[in-house]
Structure 1
C-alpha cells in the first residue's frame, strides 16, 4: 500500500459529516448545519430554465458576468464594500473559497490567528497548507465573541492572517462593530490578511452585521448561498478581494475546478435579484426556534448563551458522555471539542430542524438524559 501524504495524515475526517450518516430514521438530528427549508421556487425555476436552455457548458473561470455584477451590487448595498466584477470569483461553495485562501497565501512558518472555538474546516485548511495555528480564546463569559485586544496579543512578525467568522459556527456569536473595525485597522498596521467568512451574514437577530473589508484593503471576504437560500447541495459561493489577491486566488480556483456549476450560478443570480420574502420567513422562524432551544436548555441547567446569529447554540455541558447518551435516546448532537480546545465541556446543537422536532428533542433530553 502506498503511504498517504504526511499533510493528510495530520488531519481527521469531520465529526460533523458523521451526522449525515445517521441511519436511525426516527432520530432527531440537531447535528446538521444546513437549513431544513427548500430552495425558494423562483430559484428552482431559474435553474430549470437554464438546463432547458442548454446553459450547461463552462463559464468564465470567475463566473458569469451578470452574477458577478449582482454580487458587486450586493456588496455595495449590504456591506459597504466597493469592488468590481473582475475582483469577484464565484466558487464551489464558501468552502472552496476557504481552501483557495489557504493554498494561495499560507505556507510553512506562517502563523494564522484562529478563534477558539471555530468551524473545524479552518483548522484543517491551515494544517494542510503547512502554516501554524495561533489560537485565541473566545470565552463563554464574552459570549464567545472574538475581541480585538485578544487578537493584538497574538500578533507577531510571522502573522500572515486572522480568520473571522461572524456570525459564528459553532457558537452563534456575532462580533461587535468596534472589534471588527479594530481588527481591520490592525491588519493594515501589521500587514496581515483577514479571511472573513460571512456565510451566516443574513441569519442574524437583533444585531447588525459588519464586514471588515469596509475598513481595510487586506481582507478576503467569503460568502455564499448555502445558508441564506438553503442551497447547500448546489455548492455555490463567492469571494472578493483587491486585484493583487484575486489573481493569486484565481490560480488555485482555475486549476482546481475551472468554474462553479453553471446551473447553480443561474440559480444564484436569481437568488440575488429576486424576492427575498422566503429568506425573511426563514430567519423569523430560526429566531423562534432559537428562543425555544435556549430557554429549554437553560431550564434544564445547561447554561446557554442567547446566540445572536447562525442557527447553533453551544450550551455548557460538563458530562463527557452527553453526546453518546443523547444519541442513544434518538437526539443527535456534536461534541464541542470538535471545534477546538475551548469547545470542551460544550455541545453544539443546530436548530435547523422543525420547531416541533426541537420541542420533542428537548423533552427527550429532559426526561431521559437529565432526569433519566
Structure 2
C-alpha cells in the first residue's frame, strides 16, 4: 500500500457520520444537519425544465451570469454587501467555498482562529492546508457566542484568518452586531481574513443577522441553498469577496470542479427569483420545534440555551455514555466533543426532524435514558 500524504493523517472521518453506524434504520435521527422538508415545487420544476431543454453542459467557471446577477442583488438587499457578478463564484455547496478559502490562503505556519465549539469541517480544512488552529472559546455563559474581546486576545503576527459562523453549527448561537463589527474592524487593523460562513442566515428566530463584509474588505462571505431551500444533495453554494481574493480562489475552483452543476444552478436561480413562502413556513416550523426540544430538555434537567438560529441545540449533558445509551434506545445524537474541547459535556441535537418524532425522541430519552 502506498502511504497517504502526511496532511491527511492529521484529520479524522466525521464523527457525525460515524454515529449513523451505531443504530438501526428505525431510529429517530437528531444527528443530521439537514432540513427534513422537500425542495419547493417551483425549484424542482426549474431543474426539470433545465434537463428537458438539454441544459446540461459546462457553464462559465464562476457560474451562470444571470444567477450571479441575482446573487449580487441578494447580497445588497439582505446583507448590505456591495459586490458585482465578477466577484461571485458559484460553488459545489458552501463546503467547496470553505475548501477554496483554505487552499488559496492558508499555508504552513499560518494561524487560523476557529470558534470552539465549531463545525468540524473548519478544523479539517485548515489541517489539510497545513495551517495551525487557534481555538476561540465560545462558552455557555456567553450563550456560545463568539466575542470580539476573546478574538482580540488570540491575534498574533501569525494570524492569517478567522472563521465566523452565525447562526452557528453546532450551537444555534447568533452573533451580536457589536461583535461582528468589532471583529470586522480588527480584520482591517490587524490585516487578517474573515471567512464568514452564513449558510444558516435565513434560519433565524429572535435576532437579526449581520454580515462582517458590510464593515470590512477583508472578508470572504460563504452561503448556499442547502439549508434555506432544503437543497442539500444538489450541492450548490456561492461566495463573494474582492477581486484579488476571487482570482486566487478561482484557480482552485477551475482545476477542482470547473463549474457547479448546471441543473442545480438553474434551481438556485429560481430559488432567488421565486416566492419565499415555503422558506418562511419552514422557519416557522423550525422555531416551533426549537421551543419543544428546549423545553423538554430543560424539564429533564439538561441546561439548554434557547438557540436563536439554525436547527441545533447544544444541551449540557455530563453523562459520558449518554450518546451511546440514546443510540441503543433509538435516538441518534452527536457528542459535543466532536466540535471542539468546549463541546465536552455537551451533546448536539438537531431538530430538523418532524415535531412528532422530536416528541417521541424526548419521551424515549426521558423514560429510558434519564430515568431508565
State the alpha-carbon separation in 1 of the partners of residues 93 and 67 from structure 2.
15
Q: Which residue does the alignment assign to 1:88? A: 88
For the 8 Å contact 1:50–1:263, the answer to whether it is kept is yes
* SS across alignment from 1:194: strand
Which residue matches 2:9? 9
Number of aligned residue pairs: give it.
372
**How far, CA to CA, are the matches of 2:108 and 2:150 in structure 1?**
24
Which residue in the other structure is 1:275 paired with? 275
Give the 3-state SS of the residue equivalent to 1:238 in structure 2.
strand
Partners of 1:69 and 1:22 in 2: CA distance: 45
For residues 356-371 of structure 1, the aligned pairs below 5 Å read: 356-371=356-371
Which residues of structure 2 form unaligned runs of 5+? Answer: none
| C-alpha displacement of 1:16 | 1.2
Q: Kindly provide the CA deviation profile for residues 184-227 of structure 1, in whole angstroms up to 9, marking residues without a partner as x.
A: 00000000000000000000001100000000000000000000
Aligned counterparts of 1:77 and 1:20: Cα–Cα separation in 2: 39
Alignment of 1:105-144 (within 5 A): 105-144=105-144
Alignment of 1:321-340 (within 5 A): 321-340=321-340
Residue correspondence of structure 1 range 74-85 to structure 2 within 5 A: 74-85=74-85
1:160 is paired with a residue of what secondary structure?
A: strand
- The equivalent residue for 2:304 is 304
Instruction: Describe the SS at the equivalent of 2:216.
Output: coil
User: Compared with structure 1, are the counterparts of its residues 235 and 21 closer, same or farther at alpha carbon in structure 2 (3 Å cutoff)?
Assistant: farther
Q: 1:202 to 1:22 in 2, by over 3 A?
A: farther
Question: How far 1:19 moved relative to its partner?
Answer: 4.2
Q: Map 1:174-253; keep pairs closer than 5 Å.
A: 174-253=174-253
Identify unmatched segments of 5+ residues in structure 1.
none
Report the alpha carbon displacement of residue 23 of structure 1 after superposing the two structures with TM. 5.8
Q: Distance in 2 between matches of 1:231 and 1:186?
A: 35
Superposed structure 1 runs of 4+ greater than 6 Å apart: none
Name the counterpart of 1:36. 36
> Which string of whole-angstrom CA distances, capped at 9 and with x for unpartnered residues, describes residues 30-64 of structure 1?
00000000000000000000000000000000000
In 2: Cα distance, 1:25 partner to 1:246 partner: 43
CA distance in 2, matches of 1:18, 1:235: 21
Question: Shift in Å at residue 21 of structure 1?
Answer: 4.6
Deviation per residue, 1:263-303 (Å, 9 max, x gap) = 00000000000000000000000000000000000000000
Please state how far the C-alpha of 1:25 moved relative to its aligned partner: 2.4
Distance 1:20 1:320, change over 3 A: closer
- Length-normalised TM-score, structure 2: 0.99
State the shift of 1:17 in Å: 2.0
Trace 1:65-80 onto structure 2 (pairs within 5 A): 65-80=65-80
Instruction: Tell me how far apart the structure 2 counterparts of residues 167 and 229 of structure 1 sit (CA, whole Å).
Output: 16
CA distance in 2 between counterparts of 1:131 and 1:91 reads 23
Task: Kindly report the root-mean-square deviation, in angstroms, between the aligned alpha carbons of the 2 structures.
Answer: 0.7
Cα shift at 1:18: 2.7
TM-score, normalised with respect to structure 1: 0.99
Q: Secondary structure at the match of 1:304?
A: coil
* CA apart distance, 1:150: 0.3
8 Å CA contact 2:300, 2:370 repeated in 1: yes
Shift, 1:152, TM fit:
0.4
